[in-house]
Homo-oligomer: A and B are copies of this chain.
Amino acid sequence: MQFAQRLQHCETSAIRELFKLLGKPGIISFAGGFPDPGLFDVDGLRAASVDALAHWPGAALQYGATEGFGPLKEQIALYSANKSAPLQEQDFIVTTGSQQALDLIGKCLITPGDKVIVEGPTFLATIQCFRLYGAEVISAPIDEQGVQVDALEQLICEHQPKLVYLIPTFGNPSGAMLSLERRKRVLELAAQYQVLVVEDDPYGDLYFDAPPPPSLLALSKDVPGSRDWLAHCGSLSKILSPGLRLGWLVGPPALLANAVMCKQFSDANTSTYAQATAAAYLQSNRLPQAVTQVRKVYAERAACMAEQLRTQLGDAVSFVQPGGGMFFWVRLTGAHGGERDATAFSQRAVEQLVAFVPGAPFFAENPDASCFRMSFATSDLERIAEGIARMARAL
């Protein structure tokens, strides 16, 4: 029972219990990781679904290629080219959300006992996904400029990992942004040590002011040999709609070939109906305007959250204001003998009808119990202020 046994270690009971409490009437939740459904371009997607069934009535409802629906792949290639990372059709496959890209990477590459390196903290479902395949997950330290590359190099040398998983741009939960210099260094490490670097990039478009540095994928053309050791996970979930469940995986040909084989027996193909709708939507060229609107609203909410945390919680907390994405990563400073345990704080906060996620489960090892994650994506300014007032009472 290899998987069943490992599943028991995947239980994130603290978080599951917390999410059950979110049904409490009147609660203000900063705990979720969902985009704001009020910002979905429902009209555009409705038109796209009608268009898709008009243009491709057979193909949109039929089985499709495991690699992805051609017209969507064309649109994803254009989207990527606009971000300085041109793609050919054979460079990537469509996946059922980027979660499936991670699952396929795990399935294709990880043998029980293999080591993988992730950021500490990182996306919880990645840790669990890789652990399900029997990986030993090791944490590399990060700061506000993302993963610390010297420490990463040392860990690579020490552990010879099967892969390194990073969210370089507006990390979840850290909100951190890997600097341009470090991005280049990460690519050099990939090429030098011949270790696969997996770049997960769901938030790159959600910047507030200045765009982030180019993705590792875009930069790989400037670092000789690095493209052979780079995989990149893209997603429409945070910029268009998670309900479509559409992501993509860029990677070396051998990895993609194995991923296609595994995907054939995992779900045969990603919903062609969802793919055709997304293709028609992207063809309609409404995405840039929709994303601009998301950026604007999230920027206001992030600014408000920063302001309210500063004024209402003062030096009880510290944080780096994110330049995009959906999350604040907040540390309890314990100033003036105050609370330093984020789990205890979150329990008292729920009593005050406000929720966030204690940070410990986001660490594969050496959890920092003083941190917690807050999402500003789904709360308007009034609820952000009121929620943080409740947090102040809970402190």
Which residues of A are interface residues toward B (Cβ below 8 A)? 1-4, 7, 10, 34-35, 37-38, 40, 42, 45-46, 49-50, 53, 57-64, 96-97, 99-100, 102-103, 107-109, 111-112, 125, 128-129, 132, 237, 241-245, 258, 261-262, 264-274, 276-277
Contacts and interface: CB of A to CB of B under 8 A. Distances in A.
A108 B132 CA distance: 10
10 contacts: A3-B107, A4-B108, A37-B59, A40-B62, A63-B242, A96-B96, A103-B267, A243-B272, A266-B266, A273-B274
Nearest to A276: B243
A266 B7 CA distance: 13
Contacts of A241: 61-62, 273
A199 B111 CA distance: 31
Contact of A57 (B42, B237, B273): B42
A379 to B, nearest CB: 15
A262 B3 CA distance: 8
A381 to B, nearest CB: 20
A202 to B, nearest CB: 12
Majority-rule SS of A interface residues = helix
A267 B98 CA distance: 8
A2 B35 CA distance: 36
A68 to B, nearest CB: 13
A195 to B, nearest CB: 15
Given A3-B107, A42-B53, A96-B245, 11 more contacts: A35-B62, A40-B57, A45-B61, A60-B243, A61-B241, A62-B241, A62-B243, A97-B268, A128-B264, A132-B262, A245-B270
A58 B46 contact: no
A50 B57 contact: no
A40 B61 contact: yes
Contact of A264 (B2, B57, B125, B244): B125
Copies of this chain, tallied across the complex? 2
A241 to B, nearest CB: 4
Contacts of A125: 264-265, 268
Nearest to A3: B107
A172 to B, nearest CB: 14
Contacts of A107: 3
Nearest to A265: B129
A271 B63 contact: no
A266 B107 CA distance: 10
A281 to B, nearest CB: 11
A129 B266 CA distance: 8
Contacts of A53: 42, 45-46, 49
A250 to B, nearest CB: 18
Contacts of A265: 10, 99, 102-103, 125, 128-129, 132
B62 A261 contact: no
Nearest to A106: B265
Contacts of A4: 108-109, 258
A245 B271 contact: yes
B264 A267 contact: no
A94 B277 CA distance: 21
Nearest to A52: B49
Residue among A96, A245, A269 with max Cβ neighbours from chain B (10 Å): A245
A244 B267 contact: no
A374 B98 CA distance: 37
A127 to B, nearest CB: 10
Contacts of A45: 53, 61, 273
